[in-house]
Amino acid sequence: MSSRLIYGCMTLGGEWDDEPLDARTVDSARTAVQAARAAGITDFDHADIYTHGKSEEVFGRLLAEDPELGRGITIQTKVGVRLPGNTADRGAPVHYRLDRDTIRRGLEGSLRRLGVDSVERFMLHRPDPLADPQEVAATLDELRREGLIRSVGLSNMSLRQVCLYQQLLATPVTALQLELSLRHRGFVEQQILVNQTEAAGHPFPEGTLEYCTANGVEVQAWGALARGLYTGAPVPPEDQHAAATAEVVHGIARAHGVAGEAVVLAWLMRHPGGIRPVVGTTDPQRIAACAAAEALAPRLGHEEWYALLNAARGHPVP
């Protein structure tokens, strides 16, 4: 059975540069992955761009040195973002590309770095307006038939884009990854602010979570901790409600005997949409703190959930 939390490997490879992995980075990655496994986390999220491919490389190295570490885990990775000096030439602009060759080469590179024959889920990282959806779907179907991927996921895409690929792919989309958090809460505001002018300030694609629930599409949340905004990170001047929200977070944390990270994640997980937060810290103690969200989520009270929402909004729901 998979854990609700997903471990995000974006920073696992150290610096975002072309320097080779060093012993310190490998040791840090080993400690983080071991902590994630000890916390019951079984799903690991990658992308070809993460630290110039070093996140996948170090993960593959860890699996090779300790096969037990990889027992019972699932791996997903992404393709499509082209960064200069990373997945694109140094002189290229930042762009997205989802043509057949890029998709196939991206997957082959990820499999090689990870040291595996296939991945559980292969995700399109960002929508490419120039991509031919039929070509994209045909390529993904081909990779699945070859046994290189077991399912397809989407990331940072709209409801209409999800529906399009649902129609074109031979097998259904299995997951959609979006930025969701107590701060980036448009998915909730869209549900609450029906026929309200305030809804214009929260341009979350209407009906996305409802569609995913009805069609068995798993919803994954990147940025789920809101970059630590409510758990100790510096509060930006433009977010006047963050400090007050942090007080509510820590009050609920004390009441339940957990860290603030568990409360922030449990707020997402308490939603009936089955949201799975992606957690990317490499700090073992913070990983353990996040893992407590799984047990807290069903115990987080109805009124506690709304207290967090109202604090983050800066005023009560209408």
Contact call for residues 221 and 175 (beta carbons, < 8 A): no
Furthest C-alpha separation in the chain: 57
Residue 271 CA: distances (Å) to CA of 114, 156, 188, 205, 221:
33, 20, 9, 17, 12
Inter-residue contact 294 to 5 (CB < 8 Å)? yes
| CA of residue 275 relative to chain centroid, distance | 10
In a domain, 42, yes or no: yes
**Is 313 contained in some domain?**
no
- Assess if residue 104 is contained within a domain: yes
Give the pLDDT score at 197: 77
Contact 44, 9 (CB under 8 A): yes
Contact residues for 88 (Cβ-Cβ < 8 A; gap 6+): 82, 95
Question: Of 24-28, 241-245, 247-251, where does mean pLDDT reach its minimum?
Answer: 241-245
Residue 164 and residue 74: Cα distance in Å, rounded? 26
| Total domains in the fold of the chain | 1
Q: Which residue has the higher pLDDT, 2 or 47?
A: 47
Please give the angle made by the CA atoms of 168, 173 and 177, to the nearest 5 degrees: 125
Q: What pTM value is reported for the model?
A: 0.96
Taking all residues of the chain, what is their mean pLDDT, rounded to a whole number? 96
Two tokens at 314? 């800066």
Is residue 308 assigned to a domain? no
**What CATH number has the domain bearing residue 18?**
3.20.20.100
Question: Could you report the per-residue pLDDT of 196-238, keeping only the tens digit for each?
Answer: 877 677 778 889 999 999 999 999 999 999 999 999 998 888 8
Residue 303 lies in a domain: no
Contact 80, 88 (CB under 8 A): no
- Reading phi first (left if > 0) and then psi (alpha if -120 to 50, else beta), residue 198 is in alpha
Decide the pairing of beta strands 43-45 and 81-82. Answer: unpaired
Pairing status of strand 6-8 against strand 81-82: unpaired
Q: Would you say residue 140 lies in a domain?
A: yes
- Split at pLDDT 50, 70, 90, the class of 259 is very high
The pLDDT value recorded for residue 206 is 86
Tens of pLDDT along 142-171?
A: 999 999 999 999 999 999 999 999 999 999
Q: What is the pLDDT of residue 1?
A: 59
Q: Looking at the domain assignment, is residue 76 inside a domain?
A: yes
Within 10 Å of residue 144's Cβ, how many Cβ atoms? 18
Residue 131 placed within a domain:
yes
Range of the structural domain that residue 108 is part of? 6-179
Q: Which residues pair with 152 in a beta bridge?
A: 122, 173
